[in-house]
Amino acid sequence: MEGNKVQNYKSCFDIIGPIMVGPSSSHTAGAIAIGALARQLFGGTPKNVRCDYYESFSETHKGHGTDFAIISGILGFATDDVRVPRAVEIAVSEGMHIEFVERKEPSPVNHANTADLTLSDEKRTIRLIGTSVGGGAVEVLIGTSVGGGAVEVKYIEVDGFKMDLSGPLPVLLEVVSLGEMPVLYHLLHEHGVTISKQRVEMTEDSQMMGYELVDLLSPELKEQIQTLRKTHNIYMFA
């Protein structure tokens, strides 16, 4: 990161893990970050969670604490929360149905640490594919981890839309009805935020805009977006 610009992990220091509970930054801290992004996309705590593991995650998730890490993120726990090791137990006691699936085929995103999350309740279902690239950073894709907990976002399914993304955060999504004026583009322009890529997916009656940003979001802008989320269908990964 240079100034307030997004860079794609130029230094080894980008993938040094955070203070955390658990044995592995890539399998634990990164998995918490993936779970947390899924929680953001879902908009709270779901009733049902399915997690499909691939390759290294599939082989080592039990020993490396990936199960409780994923669920910790979905419950909104921080990496250093003392409840992290008991997250699965806590979630089940609160009525969550959880399924972990060990897939034998290669990762669909060609990454050794891949987790494909589906969250649902009686009203909605979302699917997130994310990657942990080290140091607590994450890519949202199908959930893969490369070390240290770094995450990026590469694939999202929400509200009937499917969208491929490049990876690095911040990423903003906005769903509007056809003919409705989206609000994010003008807000980002007002704050001088550079959009690296803008994507649009459409259905018969609505559309979803995806904004991949060059600039990090200021605390003031994050607060404005959070306020807009109360009245607009907006998702923020920052």
User: How would you classify residue 102: left for phi > 0, otherwise alpha for psi between -120 and 50, otherwise beta?
Assistant: beta
How sure is the predictor about 30, in pLDDT bands with cuts at 50, 70 and 90? confident
Q: pLDDT tens across 186-206, in order?
A: 999 999 999 999 999 999 999
How sure is the predictor about 115, in pLDDT bands with cuts at 50, 70 and 90? confident
Q: What angle do CA 199, 71, 175 make, to 5 degrees?
A: 25
Identity of residue 9: Y
Q: Which domains does the chain have, with CATH numbers?
A: 1-165 (3.30.1330.90), 170-238 (3.30.70.260)
Angle between helices 66-75 and 30-42 (to 10 degrees): 30
How sure is the predictor about 137, in pLDDT bands with cuts at 50, 70 and 90? very low
Q: pLDDT tens across 43-54, in order?
A: 899 999 999 998
DSSP state of 106: P
Q: pLDDT tens across 64-81, in order?
A: 788 999 999 999 999 889
The DSSP secondary structure of 158-210, one letter per residue, reads ETTEEEEEEEPSPEEEEEEETTPPPSHHHHHHHTTPPEEEEEEEE-SSEEEEE
- CA atoms of 149 and 27, how far apart (whole Å): 7
pTM, full prediction: 0.70
How sure is the predictor about 28, in pLDDT bands with cuts at 50, 70 and 90? confident
